[in-house]
Amino acid sequence: MNMLRVRQVLLFLLLVFASRSVIGADEPPPAEKPIGNVVDHFIDLKLKQENITPAPQADDATFIRRLTLDLVGRIPTAAETKAFVESTDPEKRVRLIDRLMASPGFVRHQATEFDTMLMYGTQASIRDYLVQALTENRPWDRIFREVLLPEETDAKQKVAGEFVRKRVNDLDRLTNDVSVVFFGVNISCAQCHDHPKVEDWKQDHFFGMKAFFSRTFDNGGFLAEREAGVVKFRTTEGKDRQARLMFLSGKAIDDASVREMTADEAKKEKDRFEASKKAKTPPPKPTFSARAQLVEMALQPEQREFFARSIVNRIWHRLYGQGLVMPLDQMHSKNPPSHPELLEWLARDTAEHNYDLRRLIRGLVLSKAYSRSSRWQGEDAPAPRLFAVGAVRPLTPMQMAASLQIATAAPGSFPALEKNEEFEKRIENMEASVRGFASSIEQPRDNFQIGVGEALLFSNSDRLQKQFLGDAGDRLLGALKVIKDEKELVEVAVRNIYARNPTEEEIRVLIAYLQKRQDRPIEASRQMLWALLASTEFRFNH
């Protein structure tokens, strides 16, 4: 343990030294400095080098919308926004962060986000497991372990096993998905040939990683692993090779189990597996689990760089709209981070604090870089990788659906904020009611393009009308019906939907729209609400 500590300190000193040689003048931040300050230190340093003055801090209304979307997956209610904007507490941003992170919505939203990250493209979900794990704030390394090595006698953990089970029939995919999701590297090119441009990735890496999984299979709904097995492949030069159990770093384990099983062994083992299949119980574990070896190796202090950097980069990407390394699955030597020292610092800090993702998220949203305005006033906006201006990010399906529901609820229909439990319960119910609608919205990916299908859905489907734009008393339209003053009506609508006050120009334009339709005021208001909901401002987190 002590030795480990010494080694970590040495490693850190080495990094410090390396950073200094790159940055030059400024002192690197010490390990105990708050994450937000460290972020600003490195981001500002780079901006200074590039001679760029970043965008100013976002105003309070913009900040609470951004933060509420990021932390709990929805826009704030008009009452939440008002309370926050009007508060004179100098620490109100920190208090807001802590309130949202303590709310049950935080776990729900993080679970949805991690479920998408882990299960995208599998048509399966491990969200139930994630809700449980995140409620307890389980460290990321433990989640990683439980996802790859679920204790399947425990019903809750068995759900986590879907990650492997859904992919195990295609080992190439399992191998690559694990590399992409947990280690930030895509080695699929190296399946057929050494990577043409990245010398880090050879066929040996792909098949080395595959060797950790090649003994795993689905045994009647439970994960089973054989005692021995070997992965063979043919190189581009036509040589036949046997893969070692080799991690991405190049570190390999040689074990006697890397061999073909004899027919007799295989037969006996098969009988054992068949017996557990019949009994519907998890099969016996192998004496030497190759899959478990991967987990152990990936978390070793000397090897953990992939694991730690990848989760930091992914969380950063989620909150800042752009990874420190882009694309997220191309973390290799030919594709350096925008801020190498920052990534190293965060990765080390996260690893040393038990992979506590709550701590990381809280730190990242406390930076000035996170809370900048997303509007660039000058000519050409600086490259996104400089983080000089706040990101404009498309809402996820669930953010979109939940936000539609909150935006179109009558402002008076929410329990008072002081009645915290009731308020949270209402929000939870509202979220639950729109899961169906969420499935009609596409999950954003890199270089995401919004399709015309969504615009047609908004423009001409009766679902929007039925679910969100009715005029019953608990809906926004129902509340607007009884407001006589047009200016007030517009203000209530804009505050509910945009979570800010309308501009003078907006008031003028929207009143004009309503006045032109005085013979049908409800229709006029409904159309105005539609225009606000379908607008780009609502569609994005800014």
Partner 1 sequence: MAGQRRGFFCGSLDHSLSRRGFLGAAAAGAATFATDMTALNVLQQPAFASELKKQQKRVILLWLAGGSSQLETWDPKPGAATGGPFRAIQTAVPGVQISELMPKMAQRMKHTCIVRSLNTKDGDHGGGAKLMMRGRRDEANVQYPDLGAVLAREMGRVDSQVPDYVSFYFATEGRGFAPGSSGFLGARYAPMELTQSMIPENIRRLADINDLDHAERADLRDLLSKQFTQGRVNSTTSSHNEAYQRVRGLMSSEKLFDISQEPQKMRDLYGPTQFGEQVLAARRLIEAGVPFVRVARAWWDSHGQNFETHQEMVPELDHVMATLLDDLEQRGLLEHTLVVTLAEFGRTPGINASLGRDHFASAWSATLSGCGIKGGAVYGKSDPTGNRVVDGQVGAAELFATIYRALGISPTKNYYVGSRPVPLTEPGTKAIDAVLA
Residue 290 structure tokens: 């190759």
Amino acid at 468: F
Pick the closer one to partner 1 by CB: 101 or 331. 331
Q: How far apart are CA 271 and CA 217, in angstroms?
A: 15
Q: Which is nearer to partner 1, 424 or 537 (CB)?
A: 537
Q: How far is the CB of 232 from partner 1 (least distance, A)?
A: 19
| Minimum separation from the CB atom of position 193 to partner 1 (A) | 10
The structure tokens listed for 284 are 């016996």
Q: Which of 182, 179, 181 is nearest to 191 (CA)?
A: 179
CA distance 39 to 31: 12
At 503, phi and psi to the nearest 5?
Answer: -80, 165
Nearer to partner 1, 37 or 459 (CB): 459
Cβ pair 105, 72 in contact under 8 A: yes
Residue 282 beta carbon to partner 1: minimum distance, rounded to whole angstroms: 27
Tell me the closest approach of the beta carbon of residue 378 to partner 1, in angstroms. Answer: 8
Min dist. Cβ of residue 320 to partner 1 (A): 14
For partner 1, which is the closer residue by CB, 49 or 461?
A: 461
User: CB 227 → partner 1: shortest distance, Å?
Assistant: 27
Other beta carbons within 10 Å of 334: 11
Nearer to partner 1, 76 or 363 (CB): 76
Closest CA to 345 of 30, 113, 83: 30
Contact (CB, 8 A) for 321 and 364: no
Which residues have a Cβ under 8 Å from the Cβ of 113 and sit 6 or more positions away? 73, 318, 396
- Side chain identity at residue 56, one-letter code: P
Query: Min. distance of Cβ 408 from partner 1 in angstroms?
Result: 16
Q: How far is the CB of 186 from partner 1 (least distance, A)?
A: 6
Closer residue to partner 1 in complex, CB, 88/449: 449
Nearest to 522 by CA among 458, 472, 471: 471
Q: What angle do CA 135, 139, 140 make, to 5 degrees?
A: 110
Least Cβ distance, residue 334 to partner 1 (angstroms) = 9
Residues that bind partner 1 in the complex, under the rule CB under 8 A: 121, 170, 172-173, 175-177, 180, 186, 188-189, 191, 326-327, 329-330, 335, 374-377, 381, 384, 392-394, 442, 444-462, 465, 503, 505-506, 509-510, 513, 517, 523, 527-528, 530-532, 534-537, 539-540, 542
The packing angle between helices 127-135 and 140-148, to 10°, is: 150
Select 121 or 436, whichever has its Cβ closest to partner 1: 121
Place of tokens 């073909």: 260
Give the nearer residue to partner 1 in terms of CB position, either 33 or 445.
Answer: 445
- Residues constituting the chain: 542
Contact 533, 408 (CB under 8 A): yes
| Residue 111 vs 497, nearer CB to partner 1 | 497
